[in-house]
Amino acid sequence: MDATRLAARLLEPIPANRTFAIELLSAIDASAEVALVVASEFHNVIGSLHSSGLIALVDAAGLAAIIAAAAEEHELHDVTPLGSVAHLEFPSPAYARLVDSCKLTEHARRDLRVLLEGKARKAQLDTAADVIDADNVVVCRGTFTWKLHGGS
C-alpha cells in the first residue's frame, strides 16, 4: 500500500518531527524514506547535527515503515508504537541534507501483520537505519526496537 499521505498525516504532529523539520519522502509497502536539512540551531560542538536529530530521523523512518506495512488505514486504529531501545553509531559528522531509508524485514512484517490483523495485542520488532548525507556517506547506523500495542 502507498501510505505516504497517511504516514505524513500521522508523523507531522509529532513534536520531534516538527522541531527537526523531518520530511517524509515515501512510505510504501513496509518501506519508508525520510529526510531533514541540518539547521544551525541543532548543531553540536563541531557544527554537525546533534545526535538527538539523528535519533529523531531514525525514529521517523522506522515509524513510517511500520505505517506503510498496513494493508488498510483502519488496521492502524488503536495501535500504539513506542520506541523502546536504540542502538546507534555515528561514524561521520552529519552535515547538510540527510536521508534515512527503512525497510521492514520479512520477519518484522510477519510479526506486525499478526498485530494489525487483530490476532495479537502486542508485537515487538526492530527497524534498521543507515542515514546518509548528500555525498552518500553513512553518518548514522543502527537499530531501533519498537513495542507495539493493539486495541482491545
For the chain, 152 residues long, give each residue's pLDDT as a single digit of tens: 899 999 999 999 999 999 999 999 999 999 999 999 999 999 999 999 999 999 999 999 999 999 999 999 999 999 999 999 999 999 999 999 999 999 999 999 999 999 999 999 999 999 999 999 999 999 999 999 999 999 65
- Grid cell, residue 143, equals 537499530
Nearest Cα to Cα of residue 107 among 122, 86, 124, 131:
124
In this prediction the pTM is: 0.95
Q: What is d(CA 68, CA 125) in angstroms, rounded to the nearest whole number?
A: 14
Given a contact cutoff of 8 angstroms between Cβ atoms, the answer to whether 118 and 125 are in contact is: no
Q: What is the CATH number of the domain that holds 72?
A: 3.10.129.10
Residue 140 and residue 84 in contact, taking contact as beta carbons nearer than 8 Å: no
Which domain does 75 fall in, by range?
Answer: 4-149
In the sheet with 122-132, reading across from the earlier edge strand, the strands are: 23-28, 31-37, 97-103, 122-132, 138-149, 80-89
Number of domains in the chain: 1
